[in-house]
Amino acid sequence: MKKSIGDNMIPKGSSFEQGLELVKKAGYEGIELWLGDVPWFQMNTTDAQVTELRRKVENAGLIVSNVSTGLHWETPLSARDPKVRAQAIRIVEREIEAAQLLGCDAVLVVAGLVTEEIPYGEVYPRCVEAMQQLAPTAAKAHVKIGCENCNSEQRFLISPREFWTFLNEVNSPFVGLHLDVGNIHDTGFAEQWIEMHGPRITRVHLKDPVRKRGRCGDQPVYTNLFLGDNNWPAIHAALKKVGYDGWLIAEMEWRYKFALDQQFYDTSVAMQRLIDGRM
């Protein structure tokens, strides 16, 4: 397995190049690029500029592990308005195009949001349909769409069995699961998701949840690796069992207050221990 971290972790005020230098120095092999979340990678970033990002990544001795986006929280694939859905589709298409330019083969998508206004019964078929629509584009580009399990935040596809059924209905080898082992917190066990989805896992996000806390309050739910309640030996064993040998990507939501670069180093060391099974 290989270590990566999101470019949205790069401390504010640092340039992309400075961030890459830190990522490399901290021991990562790759970087995840977040479309729409960082100034250097937006929807209007041109192909030439994306290619330039790749050059900078490679010059720093790194690889782009995958393309992600948080844009679907505001522009969901499950919106009632067909025009909003069309924009959401375009975001995924742009992720796929960028992935090709960046030389990677996976993108992250938050597929659908259940809200008070838009019920589960509507969200489900819209998301199946959206993924079925996007699958041929992904296949043509040889890029896999990883639908992220956002569980409680998304209020959609909350259990691994439910997610399995969803992927079966989409029915494409180019649409799988971008597993976030931190997002499961009180709704299940990451290792069971890994076992059930195995080869359908496109990438793995790492963070450690603190159980029995809600996100609605002011208590942080996520913490540094090994400090929370995930069973990391079980996660390691499950990854080994299913033969996952891809990217592990740090997504630390609770940031250090001081010495921001230290979080890169600490996380990298923890990830290495997870990879090596030294826990």
Partner 1 sequence: MKLSRREFVGGSAACASGFCVPGVAGVALAGAPTEADCIVFDLGANCVLPESLQGYREALNAEVVVAALDARRWQHRSGLVIVPGAGIVNATEASVLLELLDGGTTVLLESGGAFLDPKEMTAQQQMLRTFFDLSVLEPVELWSDHQCAPYVQYHWPREIMVRDFSRAIPVVAPGAETIGRLDGLQVAIKKLFGNGLLIFLGSPLGPALRAGDREARAWLQALAAAI
Task: Please report, as ranges, the residues that interact with partner 1 according to CB under 8 A.
Answer: 80-83, 116-119, 121-122, 124-126, 129
Q: Which residue has the tokens 């076992």?
A: 195
* Whole-angstrom distance, CA of residue 45 vs CA of residue 67: 14
Question: Smallest distance from the beta carbon of 133 to partner 1, in angstroms?
Answer: 12
Classify the phi-psi angles of 183: left when phi > 0, otherwise alpha if psi is within -120 to 50, otherwise beta: alpha
CB 107 within 8 A of CB 145: yes
Question: Smallest distance from the beta carbon of 129 to partner 1, in angstroms?
Answer: 8
Closest CA to 125 of 110, 112, 143: 112
Of 83 and 255, nearer to partner 1 (C-beta) is 83
Of 122 and 153, nearer to partner 1 (C-beta) is 122
Q: Which two tokens stand for residue 238?
A: 């499950």
Of 116 and 218, nearer to partner 1 (C-beta) is 116
Of 116 and 245, nearer to partner 1 (C-beta) is 116
Question: Smallest distance from the beta carbon of 155 to partner 1, in angstroms?
Answer: 15
Question: Smallest distance from the beta carbon of 167 to partner 1, in angstroms?
Answer: 20
Q: Which two tokens stand for residue 272?
A: 């290495």
Of 120 and 256, nearer to partner 1 (C-beta) is 120
* Whole-angstrom distance, CA of residue 99 vs CA of residue 83: 24
Question: Smallest distance from the beta carbon of 7 to partner 1, in angstroms?
Answer: 35
DSSP E strands in 131-227: the ranges are 144-148, 175-180, 201-206, 208-209, 222-223
